[in-house]
Structure 1
Amino acid sequence: MATRYLGPVIIIRRTAGGSYVVAEMDGSVFQNKIAQFRVVPFEQRKAIELPEDIHDLIDLSAEALNELMKDEETDMYIGRDFQFDRVHLSNEEGEDVPSDNESEADLPASDDSDEELPTSNDRYRRKLRGSARATED
């Protein structure tokens, strides 16, 4: 879903989890639900004519709309967690503890080497050493 203003939309239904099924003004229904905090109330300045039966406006059947409502709210990512990819836990005996859903042998080899990358402190120290040498000359 784009994180920008998409213009006025028509709220079709509100789900049990609080998100909305919305349609554009031309009747095309969004594929995904929209979170409640992303919907901004619209100040109506003139009357907008909408049909009594919402299915006359939208290009989605009642069955397809019910299927969209039944979809689970949470989308779980089951891939690698790149934030903790290089964290290795060990138990009391000093052996590595495999992760819950896959062992390290199942993971693809990382292209990154285990060499320590220079940090901003290292760069700062080199810069200070360089400036100290320049003042000594």
Structure 2
Amino acid sequence: MRVPRTFVFLDLSGFTNYTAAYGDDAAGKILGTFRTVVREVASERGVRIAKWLGDGCMVVAVDQVGAIEFVMELERRATRVCSPLTLRAGIATGHALLFEGDDYIGSAVNMASRLCDHATGYDVLMPASNTESLPEG
């Protein structure tokens, strides 16, 4: 079944170097804090964590504006509790195939992932074509 969704990929930038410098225990602590904040903001903003990806995750939303608000609020909170690591994100909206009950396949999924890969700390990237449907302000 094809469904319209907004996909968000998130990554804690600098996590590998942080782990090397401070050790597994410190990395586990900051990752646990990050995941707690992601869960809190996702619950507040009505988006779903589709899967955890090590020091990042994939989030799915039915509303593009809600997904953007989720990322902006998450970045605000993560800046306080995950320092010195920074958050980077890729967002893309489009139709995707709902696969085997709870997974998604499609160009919007791939685009969000690639944008996250190209982002640097504090970047939130999305295709210009997705901004046309956003409200003013």
TM-score by length of 1: 0.25
- The structure richer in helix per residue is 2
Q: Which has the higher contact order (CA 8 A, sep 6+)?
A: 2
TM-score by length of 2: 0.25
Bigger CA radius of gyration: 1
